């Protein structure tokens, strides 16, 4: 199985925060892979920028080191790596003081007609300063784009401020708000499954779908991100962006085309149709949790507060919600969302649970008829399983069995599966915003999240404790079981 590689136009990618964790772990390896596949011409430039003084050679050595650390030996070729490293250079600058920006302007002067992309791989409180400098030094050409990482704000008001600051330097069609979940193969495949097949769409509504589950579970703790995380929590860190974006793609109406604004218009309608969760219902439909000491794959693990080196914290490391989309298609269909750290497994998946059949023609004793489920797994092992009932093969008479039709990509297609960032970094160069969030989407998501945060604050309820290495507090299990349903578990 081969895939087509279409080279992109020559570009200059300026990674501000080029020496940081995101750049080394994700961005440089992703650009290397696209380069190795022949998608990035040799005359492209990747310019790292941050405050520390560094020569080009030192930044190239850091890039080489990052590629060795974060790309498997088998997927890396030394000669290609050396060619890639030649495209990399460095400028020292300070977003806050303005120092070094004339050096960047001088470096960019030779690429005035190229596509230019600024990737802001820095703390969000620097976004405004950086955009102001980019304007001040007249670095925005008609071919310029800017990529910003989450989080865009920490509530609706601050998100508007960030968006205003970026909007003073760039027009909306130049702004790429990245949510790397949208670059995952399975997420893009969700759109193809829904809109490239006749099979699902006629059933994709409250008449045939019982409920939807979206789980983004991490097995790791907060590690070195404790300060950021403790001021943020799972609702802001994961639900406002990743989980709501996935919910939108499951729930949206068929867009007119795959064009960015058609898709984003439909997603926005879903965000606006979400039934409010506020002081009236938050205690009934939301669960907050925080992990205490327990066990994970690597043995005994400390409690969240111990990782923080603190006595107490009111921040949630787990959240489960029962959301509802108040429109004709989804009336009465709950969307159960859950995400957390130090859970039993690292898994992200969307489960679309169909309704039970209306009447069984099979006698008792032939086996239970389970409702169909479509399970889309984002990580690990990206793939799709359609659970169906079949006759158990063999001469034992009519016995029914619940089995998955497995569409696992790793088995079906013998190719390396690109990381989400590979697709997204080059979509920026192609000017394709379909998999990026528009300003009104981000703000609509915050407008739904803010009342949940306010309701939690008002109720002054501490997060329920759960043991590290489990599936969260028992209240999260009760949240779905009260409705006569259970969280999906893979069993055969």
Ligand X SMILES: NC(=O)c1ccc[n+]([C@@H]2O[C@H](COP(=O)([O-])OP(=O)(O)OC[C@H]3O[C@@H](n4cnc5c(N)ncnc54)[C@H](OP(=O)(O)O)[C@@H]3O)[C@@H](O)[C@H]2O)c1
Contact 29, 67 (CB under 8 A): yes
Q: Stretches 122-130, 233-241, 453-461, 471-479: which one binds ligand X (CB under 6 A)?
A: 122-130
Query: Shortest approach of ligand X to residue 435 CB, angstroms?
Result: 15
Pattern 299-338, ligand X, x by CB under 6 A: ----------------------------------------
Q: Are 19 and 48 in contact (CB under 8 A)?
A: yes
The Cα-based distances of 274 to 153, 269, 270, 484 in angstroms read 20, 9, 6, 22
Show contacts with ligand X in window 194-213 (CB under 6 A): none
Q: Which of 477, 181, 246 is nearest to 344 (CA)?
A: 477
Going residue by residue from 29 to 68, which x/- string records binding to ligand X, judged by CB under 6 A? Answer: ---------------------xxx----------------
Binders of ligand X among 260-299, rule CB under 6 A?
A: none
Count CA atoms closer than 13 A to 463's CA, side-chain side.
27
Enumerate residues 6+ apart whose C-beta is below 8 A from 111. Answer: 10, 12, 45
- Length of the chain equals 492
Distance CA 385, CA 483 (A): 24
Q: State the Cα–Cα distance between residues 334 and 250, nearest whole angstrom.
A: 12
Contact 186, 410 (CB under 8 A): no
Out of 242, 359, 370, 417, the active site residue is 242
For ligand X, the binding residue among 8, 12, 14, 17 (CB under 6 A) is 17
Q: Confirm or reject binding of residue 123 to ligand X (CB under 6 A).
A: yes
Neighbouring-strand partners of residue 447? none
Q: Which stretch binds ligand X (CB under 6 A): 94-102, 159-167, 239-247, 277-285?
A: 94-102
Are the CB atoms for 190 and 249 separated by under 8 Å?
yes
Closest distance to ligand X from the beta carbon of 127 (Å): 8
User: Smaller CB distance to ligand X: residue 135 or 360?
Assistant: 135
**Applying CB under 6 A, which of residues 37, 77, 94, 278 lies at the interface with ligand X?**
94
- The residue (of 19 and 63) whose beta carbon lies closer to ligand X is 19
Print the binding letters for residues 155-184 with ligand X: x by CB under 6 A, - otherwise.
Answer: ------------------------------
Report CA-CA distances (Å) from 143 to 301, 303, 344: 49, 49, 46
Q: Smallest distance, Å, CB 427 to ligand X? A: 17
CA–CA separation, 343 and 124 (whole Å): 28
Comparing every residue's Cβ against ligand X, the nearest one is 20
Among 8, 13, 19, 213, binds ligand X (CB under 6 A): 19
Of the candidates 158, 155, 168, the residue with the CA atom closest to the CA atom of residue 146: 168
Q: Which is nearer to ligand X, 123 or 258 (CB)?
A: 123
Known catalytic membership, residue 242: yes
Query: Whole-number minimum distance, CB 130 to ligand X, in Å?
Result: 8
Q: Applying CB under 6 A, does 149 fall inside the site for ligand X?
A: yes
Part of the chain binding ligand X (CB under 6 A), chosen from 16-24, 59-67, 202-210, 311-319: 16-24
In whole angstroms, the minimum distance from the beta carbon of 18 to ligand X comes to: 6
CA distances from 82 to 14, 35, 377 (A): 20, 11, 36
CA distance 148 to 358: 49
- Number of residues counted as binding ligand X (CB under 6 A): 22
Interacting residues toward ligand X by CB under 6 A? 16-22, 25, 50-52, 93-96, 121-124, 126, 149-150
- So which residues are the catalytic ones? 242
């Amino acid at each position: 199985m081969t895939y087509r590689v279409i080279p992109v136009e020559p570009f200059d990618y300026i990674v501000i925060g080029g020496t940081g964790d995101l750049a080394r772990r994700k961005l440089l390896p992703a650009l290397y892979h696209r380069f190795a596949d022949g998608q990035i011409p040799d005359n492209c430039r990747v310019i790292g920028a941050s405050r520390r003084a560094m020569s080009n050679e030192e930044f190239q050595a850091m890039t080489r080191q990052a590629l060795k650390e974060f790309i498997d030996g088998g997927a890396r070729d030394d000669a290609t790596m050396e060619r890639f490293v030649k495209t990399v250079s460095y400028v020292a600058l300070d977003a806050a003081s303005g120092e070094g920006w004339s050096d960047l302007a001088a470096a960019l002067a030779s690429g005035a007609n190229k596509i230019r992309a600024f990737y802001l791989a820095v703390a969000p409180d620097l976004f405004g300063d950086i955009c102001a400098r980019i304007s001040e030094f007249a670095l925005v050409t008609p071919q310029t784009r800017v990529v910003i990482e989450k989080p865009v704000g920490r509530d609706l008001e601050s998100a508007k401020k960030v968006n205003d600051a970026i909007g003073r330097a760039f027009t909306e069609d130049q702004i790429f708000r990245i949510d790397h979940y949208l670059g995952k193969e399975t997420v893009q495949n969700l759109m193809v499954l829904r809109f490239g097949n006749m099979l699902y769409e006629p059933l994709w509504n409250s008449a045939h779908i019982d409920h939807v589950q979206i789980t983004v579970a991490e097995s790791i703790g907060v590690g070195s991100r404790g300060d950021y995380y403790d001021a943020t929590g799972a609702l802001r860190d994961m639900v406002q962006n990743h989980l709501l974006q996935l919910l939108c793609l499951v729930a949206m109406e068929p867009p007119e085309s795959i064009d960015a604004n058609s898709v984003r218009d439909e997603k926005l309608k879903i965000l606006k149709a979400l039934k409010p969760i506020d002081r009236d219902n938050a205690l009934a439909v939301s669960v907050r949790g925080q992990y205490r000491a327990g066990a994970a794959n690597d043995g005994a693990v400390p409690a969240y507060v111990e990782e923080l080196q603190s006595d107490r914290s009111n921040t949630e490391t787990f959240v489960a919600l029962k959301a509802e989309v108040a429109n004709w298609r989804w009336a009465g269909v709950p969307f159960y969302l859950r995400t957390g750290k130090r859970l039993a497994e690292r898994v992200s998946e969307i489960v679309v649970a169909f309704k039970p059949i209306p009447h069984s023609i099979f006698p008792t004793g032939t086996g239970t008829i389970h409702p169909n489920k479509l399970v889309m797994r984002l990580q690990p092992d990206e793939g799709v399983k359609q659970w169906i009932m079949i006759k158990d093969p063999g001469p034992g008479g009519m016995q029914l069995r619940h089995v998955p039709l497995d569409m696992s990509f790793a088995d079906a297609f013998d190719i390396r599966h690109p990381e989400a960032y590979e697709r997204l970094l080059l979509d920026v160069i192609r000017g394709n915003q379909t998999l990026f969030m528009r300003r009104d989407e981000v703000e609509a998501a915050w407008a739904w999240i803010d009342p949940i945060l306010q309701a939690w604050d008002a109720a002054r309820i501490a997060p329920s404790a759960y043991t590290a290495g489990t599936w969260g507090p028992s209240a999260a299990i009760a949240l779905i079981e009260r409705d006569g349903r259970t969280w999906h578990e893979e069993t055969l």
